Structure 1
Amino acid sequence: MERLRKWLADGLVDTVIVAGVDLQGRLYGKRCAAEPFLRDMADGVHTCDCNFGWDVERILIPGLAFTGWHTGYGDMTAVPDWSTTRLYPWFEKTALVICDTKSHDGGFVPIAPRSMLRRQLDKAAGMGFTVKAASELEFFLFHETPESSRAKDYRNLATISGYIGDYCIFRSSMDEPLIGEIRRQLAAAGVEVECSKAEWGHGQHEVNLVYTDALEMADRHVVFKQGVREMAAMKGYQATFMAKWHTEHSSNGAHIHMSLWRDGKPAFHDPKGERGMSQTMRHFLGGMMALARDFQLLYAPTINSYKRYGDLTFAPTTITWGGDNRTVAFRSCGHGSSMRLENRIPGADVNAHAAYAAMIASGLYGVENAIEPIGPFVEANGYAVTDAPRLHHNLIEAADAFSSSAVARALLGNDVVDHYAAIARWEIGEFMRNVTDWERRRYFELI
């Protein structure tokens, strides 16, 4: 709070974005004038609980226990976490503070993504661990605006390049006026970028964020996506983090790196262990692998998420593990203090806080139960491993697995499982009742 007071006194800030994280991993909340916010609302800002009761288009979902017409759509409170206070420099004189979502009695709302992650971090702390993480995110850029894309009904959209640009410095140089500005503005907002590169898809880029504590990284993940979308729009472009925006184009991943630390020292490295892995690391990996299908809904939360998975696409299709191998679901990366695990299952449409919570919950479950990794260390083509458990093919399978998982309920709570499964089933219902372009092209004339 004192940092914000100083910025106000120095004339650097007159507006504060007071925001929580919604079920889709987006910021929700209010823009407040800085002076009255600090004077009158520093204990929290009221927001309608419909923020946890609607879908990605903000259409209210019936039948939820948490909120609805039966509850009167009351308030919940966005309570500032002052450690997250940062400048929001792509808007003039603006700061952002990320909030925890609390109920009228002051308790954390269990289904709030930040609450879910805090619960797992508390469990890790109780076991003597701290958790560090980093996200690497992919997105596409278009010579479009939100208005032009809607006017085209999202057909025939123009990407900012028309060829494969993976690792191409010329391509990234052409896009540097925008991407460089994004990197610099994010750094000024406390979201440190390690590097960026042109990616495989036409107009696609990848940005790697610098490793830090898990809650802070999940927050940075959200700010990064929000910032990219806003800055692109302000420059006359449009960005999408949709997992698979087009049948003929590559997909957007969100590879999540994670490690445990104890007493300030890495808990994943053991120079005497197989491949330098400690037992803690092996069991954390084993837990993530064992529960990957149970928790896949939190890694792949939309209908579109499952269009990303396919053999020979660099997105996993089976629950496999390896080292320097982009064909597996989980990778053992780094050496010494940088030893970490990479989860390649999530797409860029993932809710970071929910996915981090799922990874920590399942990993700690593996540590508690000494679960070994599933299957052999894959050194060749992971897609050729025929006896590995397969990831779910669609949201229906993932929602059913999550809802019926006794372990997920024990680790995350019944309220979390029931609410997120209900959100997924609403999404499934909306998809099933809508006629798609593919159906018209396939059946309109020929059936």
Structure 2
Amino acid sequence: MDAQQITGYLKQNNSHHIKFAFADIDGILRGKLIHRQKFESGLQNGYGFCDVVFGWDSADQAYDNVAVTGWHTGYPDKNCRIDLATFRNIPWQNNIPFFLADFSGADKEGVPCPRTLLKKIVSACADMGYHPEFAQEFEWFNFSETAKSLQQKSFRGIEPVTPGMFGYSILRLSQQSNFYLDLVNLLEEFRIPLEGLHTETGPGVCEAAIIHDHALAAADKAVLFKNAVKEIASSHGIMASFMAKWNADLPGCGGHIHQSLWNTDKSHNLFYQADAEHGISELMKHYIAGQLYCLPFIMPMYAPTINSFKRLVEGAWAPTTITWGIDNRTAALRAISQSAKSARLETRIPGADSNPYLAIAASLASGLYGIKHKLPLNIKPVQGNGYLDTSNGTLPKNLLEAATAMQQSDVARELFGNTFVDHFTATRVWEWRQFNSQVTDWELKRYFEII
């Protein structure tokens, strides 16, 4: 629908207000409810939006180490543009019209907008003659809690909706059938169709795979999926958490990315070659080689929080080594290449806490880097336990190590530009500083009496 059709639809349906939102640097949706008159007046030239949304963290604390905005700039408005192609209605909110937005209208001003960054990578991919097909799948835990109850109990004694380690359980899905049926049906109405939904191993944990789409649309759906699940869950008295590792004794939550490159009319999967070993084309080999080569320099885009790295431990269904394998879930990259229809690469490093725009941008940009530079895939596919294969290196151990490596990397700057790298890595260093300044429960229990 174009602008005229959408404004006509709003009038015909007596819609006086619309919602729009964009993802900040952490992937959190920030937005507004605005009158239809304001919506129509900004369709051509955009809307002013305070750039503090890129100057504070997930707790709305202002960064003191970034250049693009801050007290030194006065937090001015920057030009935000609604993407009409993202129009949908929110079925669990009286079908209010909704749009996604980004700051591509302020790109020359150096706004580090994640969606704008991904649009650049997608454009470069198109210039190389490829159609990028992507999908992100998520694991998350569901709790019999509310925001208020968690605050009242100081985040202790958190209660999952169901007990026990019960992966792929039909029983557990049926015991919460109203919630799960609402998820699949309402998400379908919200233009986020799910390929599958099942329980994972752990109390109250689920996994959902979103049907694949063009990279930008896939990222849009992933961002909206996380927020939509939280809103739908809340209507059932449930709190959904996409935290990477909420409990040290349980598996973490992944946000794996499936991807393939096709020709421009989507008639041929360029990752598949029937007569090649394992069915993997030379193009796919270059793509894998690019991801492996760039991985140490872009890790914060896959693992953006302190908590992200607590998921990346041995034997917990998350990778720890720079490896790839054929249908091997212990490797960082899992190649699936049985047929032309399904041949793809699964990047298994990202957690459910990742910003989909940045995680998908990192995957696509690093894969294209391998193609552009014709990097050879000299690393052999790992056989068996990928945790034991450290021959090509291991993943960074914490956020500070990862952010510092990215900050100092010429590769990251080639992929994403100086403005984004400087800003993003500064926000990750800030995150580390906030964590490092706190006294934790672990420290109190360890040292308070005995030292």
Q: Shorter-chain-normalised TM-score: which range?
A: over 0.9
Does the alignment pair 1:416 with 2:417? no
> Would you say the 8 A contact 1:29–1:47 is kept in 2?
no
> Would you say the 8 A contact 2:305–2:399 is kept in 1?
yes
Q: Percent same amino acid at aligned positions?
A: 37
Counterpart in the other structure of 1:138: 139
Task: Report the alpha carbon displacement of residue 36 of structure 1 after superposing the two structures with TM.
Answer: 1.2
Task: Report the alpha carbon displacement of residue 374 of structure 1 after superposing the two structures with TM.
Answer: 5.2
Matches within 5 A, 1:26-45: 26-33=28-35, 35-43=36-44, 44-45=46-47
Deviations 1:28-57 (A, max 9, x none): 121112x31343232322211000011111
Does the alignment pair 1:198 with 2:202? no
Does the alignment pair 1:320 with 2:296? no
* Aligned counterparts of 2:99 and 2:34: Cα–Cα separation in 1: 11
> Would you say the 8 A contact 1:136–1:206 is kept in 2?
yes
Does the alignment pair 1:293 with 2:288? no
SS at match of 1:207: strand
> Would you say the 8 A contact 2:65–2:430 is kept in 1?
no
2:440 to 429, 433, 436: 436
SS at match of 2:93: coil
Does the alignment pair 1:357 with 2:391? no
Gaps of 5+ in 1: none
C-alpha distance 215-108 of structure 1, shift in aligned 2 (>3 A): farther
* Aligned counterparts of 1:440 and 1:95: Cα–Cα separation in 2: 49
Deviations 1:236-294 (A, max 9, x none): 11010000011122211001001111132211111122211111101001000111110
C-alpha distance 176-108 of structure 1, shift in aligned 2 (>3 A): farther
Does the alignment pair 1:170 with 2:171? yes
1:308 to 304, 311, 333: 311
Q: How many matched pairs?
A: 445
Does the alignment pair 1:283 with 2:286? yes
Counterpart in the other structure of 2:54: 52
Amino acid in structure 2 at the alignment position of 1:218: A
> Would you say the 8 A contact 1:232–1:238 is kept in 2?
yes
Counterpart in the other structure of 2:345: 341
> Would you say the 8 A contact 2:20–2:100 is kept in 1?
yes
SS at match of 1:336: coil
Deviations 1:122-156 (A, max 9, x none): 11111111111001101100000011011111111
> Would you say the 8 A contact 1:135–1:254 is kept in 2?
yes
1:379 to 383, 390, 406: 383
Could you tell which deviates more after superposition, 408-417 or 106-115? 106-115
Task: Report the alpha carbon displacement of residue 102 of structure 1 after superposing the two structures with TM.
Answer: 3.9
Aligned-residue Cα RMSD (Å) equals: 1.5
Counterpart in the other structure of 1:390: 394
> Would you say the 8 A contact 2:80–2:104 is kept in 1?
yes
SS at match of 2:206: strand
Could you tell which deviates more after superposition, 386-395 or 137-146? 386-395
C-alpha distance 84-109 of structure 1, shift in aligned 2 (>3 A): farther
> Would you say the 8 A contact 1:89–1:95 is kept in 2?
no
* Aligned counterparts of 2:377 and 2:260: Cα–Cα separation in 1: 16
* Aligned counterparts of 2:235 and 2:398: Cα–Cα separation in 1: 35
> Would you say the 8 A contact 2:28–2:58 is kept in 1?
no
Task: Report the alpha carbon displacement of residue 16 of structure 1 after superposing the two structures with TM.
Answer: 1.2
SS at match of 2:367: helix
> Would you say the 8 A contact 2:251–2:317 is kept in 1?
no
* Aligned counterparts of 2:26 and 2:411: Cα–Cα separation in 1: 23
Counterpart in the other structure of 1:73: 75
Task: Report the alpha carbon displacement of residue 3 of structure 1 after superposing the two structures with TM.
Answer: 4.8
C-alpha distance 417-374 of structure 1, shift in aligned 2 (>3 A): farther
* Aligned counterparts of 2:282 and 2:15: Cα–Cα separation in 1: 49
* Aligned counterparts of 2:241 and 2:24: Cα–Cα separation in 1: 18
C-alpha distance 3-135 of structure 1, shift in aligned 2 (>3 A): farther
* Aligned counterparts of 2:39 and 2:410: Cα–Cα separation in 1: 44
SS at match of 2:91: coil
Matches within 5 A, 1:243-282: 243-263=244-264, 264=266, 265-282=268-285
* Aligned counterparts of 2:321 and 2:347: Cα–Cα separation in 1: 12
Task: Report the alpha carbon displacement of residue 108 of structure 1 after superposing the two structures with TM.
Answer: 7.5
Matches within 5 A, 1:7-22: 7-11=9-13, 13-22=15-24
TM-score (norm 1): 0.96
> Would you say the 8 A contact 1:320–1:374 is kept in 2?
no
Counterpart in the other structure of 2:238: 237
Counterpart in the other structure of 2:161: 160
Amino acid in structure 2 at the alignment position of 1:389: G
C-alpha distance 266-430 of structure 1, shift in aligned 2 (>3 A): same
Task: Report the alpha carbon displacement of residue 333 of structure 1 after superposing the two structures with TM.
Answer: 1.4
SS at match of 1:260: strand
* Aligned counterparts of 1:93 and 1:324: Cα–Cα separation in 2: 41
Counterpart in the other structure of 2:6: 4
Could you tell which deviates more after superposition, 39-48 or 415-424? 39-48
Could you tell which deviates more after superposition, 371-380 or 212-221? 371-380
* Aligned counterparts of 2:447 and 2:15: Cα–Cα separation in 1: 57
> Would you say the 8 A contact 1:88–1:96 is kept in 2?
yes
* Aligned counterparts of 1:342 and 1:77: Cα–Cα separation in 2: 35
Counterpart in the other structure of 1:151: 152
C-alpha distance 151-420 of structure 1, shift in aligned 2 (>3 A): same
Deviations 1:69-101 (A, max 9, x none): 111100112201111111111111312111121
* Aligned counterparts of 1:108 and 1:16: Cα–Cα separation in 2: 27
Task: Report the alpha carbon displacement of residue 383 of structure 1 after superposing the two structures with TM.
Answer: 1.5
